[in-house]
């Protein structure tokens, strides 16, 4: 199994060629020693090629030697064969449920501020259980879950480490907050505020993980907005389904969040379609063709669970049904988030994409 290429440093030290250079039958690969300072000034002219991602994205250290003359109709070999990506189900479950938990505990804190205390402790424990389930599900994405704690080491530079740190602190403080609600302690309001702030920090860190240039469809403000709106939609619905009585503001919050989520998804799709980026256009193409049924179902579930049911069935049973439908819609939305993204990769070039297909 390949770990990380070091250009066969040992072979180079002995005056031998790296294994890949030695094995290439066409002699298409060479390894050269470059001046780093000089390369950073010249790489844009040496590392860019038609149809490939910009070398500016990573300051590519690969020098591309192109033919003396290139036809004007060069494009990606797989231009007409874009396929959905892997869904990453543990991450789908983790992101949706952590956001539900953050939204629920924030809603509980707001209800407490309004002077209502009916079933708040039960709702807090339920929200805490959802958060625990989500964090446990996230470890299933790791090759060796037992070493998950190592993710904390890079908290100063890595958004993933910051996410782990924020949600770990969120879980600890949320546990204390749930205990304060059970015991009716005065410190509960302060703990609720801290829980909400740590939860918001965790959601922001989760969103920032996906703001990478290599995935253009993710690298937009719509990702951050989507994550926070999921919390604003599912959290109040969860609290209402537990039986917390907080007046009409919960229903209004759900309606506004659902409408905003619909608008966010619509604007994102239109921007993907109108973009000059191949990867963003390809994401829009996936959503409108291969994934069209999923995309429409996601919208229908969002309208049903976030607007129709809360508007016409305000009882506890109606809220439980609304939560189930809206949760299904957000899970479907996060599934589409992962599988519809088209990454920037060094795809082979062809003289005509249609012929290559």
Q: Which residues pair with 261 in a beta bridge?
A: none
Tens digit of each residue's pLDDT (9 = 90 or more) over 322-346? 999 999 999 999 999 999 999 886 5
Is the pLDDT confidence value at 72 over 90? Answer: no
Pick the more confident residue, 6 or 347: 6
Question: Do residues 190 and 58 make contact, with C-beta atoms less than 8 angstroms apart?
Answer: no
Stated pTM of the model: 0.79
Tens digit of each residue's pLDDT (9 = 90 or more) over 237-266? 998 888 776 668 888 999 999 999 999 999
Average pLDDT along the chain? 82
Most confident of 58-62, 212-216, 289-293: 289-293
Question: Do residues 121 and 250 make contact, with C-beta atoms less than 8 angstroms apart?
Answer: no
Is the pLDDT confidence value at 58 over 80? Answer: no
- State how far the Cα of 53 lies from the Cα of 347, in Å rounded to an integer: 9
Q: What is the model's pLDDT at position 127? A: 76
Span 74-79, average pLDDT: 61
The residue written with tokens 């066409």 in the block is 26
Tens digit of each residue's pLDDT (9 = 90 or more) over 114-149? 876 666 767 777 777 776 766 666 565 555 555 555
- State how far the Cα of 232 lies from the Cα of 251, in Å rounded to an integer: 11
Q: Which residues pair with 76 in a beta bridge?
A: 349
Contacts of residue 356, Cβ cutoff 8 Å, sequence gap at least 6: 77, 78, 79, 350
Give the closest residue to 275 by CA, choosing from 265, 289, 285.
285
Least confident of 103-112, 141-150, 177-186: 141-150
Question: Do residues 248 and 116 make contact, with C-beta atoms less than 8 angstroms apart?
Answer: no
Tens digit of each residue's pLDDT (9 = 90 or more) over 269-319? 999 999 988 889 999 999 999 999 999 999 999 999 999 999 888 788 889
Q: What is the model's pLDDT at position 32? A: 74
Is the pLDDT confidence value at 48 over 70? Answer: no
């Amino acid at each position: 199994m390949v770990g990380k290429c070091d250009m066969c440093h040992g072979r180079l030290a002995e005056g031998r060629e790296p294994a890949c250079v030695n094995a290439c039958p066409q002699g298409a690969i060479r390894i050269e020693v470059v001046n780093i300072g000089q390369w950073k000034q010249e790489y844009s002219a040496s590392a860019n090629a038609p149809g490939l991602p910009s070398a500016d994205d990573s300051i590519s250290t690969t020098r591309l030697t192109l033919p003396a003359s290139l036809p004007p109709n060069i494009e990606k070999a797989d231009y007409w064969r874009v396929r959905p990506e892997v869904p990453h189900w543990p991450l789908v479950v983790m992101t949706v449920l952590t956001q539900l938990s953050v939204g629920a505990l924030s809603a509980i804190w707001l209800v407490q501020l309004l002077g209502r205390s009916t079933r708040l402790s039960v709702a807090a424990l339920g929200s805490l259980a959802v958060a625990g389930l989500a964090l446990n599900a996230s470890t299933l994405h790791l090759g060796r879950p037992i070493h998950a704690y190592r993710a904390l080491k890079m908290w100063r530079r890595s958004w993933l480490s910051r996410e782990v740190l924020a949600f770990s602190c969120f879980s600890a403080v949320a546990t204390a907050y749930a205990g304060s609600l059970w015991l009716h302690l005065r410190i509960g309001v302060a703990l609720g505020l801290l829980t909400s702030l740590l939860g918001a920090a965790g959601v922001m860190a989760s969103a920032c993980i996906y703001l990478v240039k290599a995935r253009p469809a993710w690298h937009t403000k719509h990702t951050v907005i989507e994550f926070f709106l999921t919390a604003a939609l599912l959290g109040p619905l969860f609290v209402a389904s537990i039986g917390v009585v907080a007046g009409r503001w919960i229903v209004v919050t759900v309606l506004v969040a659902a409408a905003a989520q619909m608008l966010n998804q619509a604007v994102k799709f239109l921007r993907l379609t109108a973009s000059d980026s191949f990867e963003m256009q390809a994401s829009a193409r996936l959503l409108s063709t291969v994934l069209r049924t999923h995309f429409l179902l996601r919208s229908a579930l969002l309208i049903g669970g976030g607007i129709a049911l809360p508007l016409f069935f305000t009882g506890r049973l109606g809220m439980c049904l609304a939560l189930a439908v809206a949760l299904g819609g957000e899970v479907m939305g996060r599934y589409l988030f992962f599988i519809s993204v088209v990454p920037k990769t060094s795809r082979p070039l062809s003289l005509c994409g249609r012929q290559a297909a």
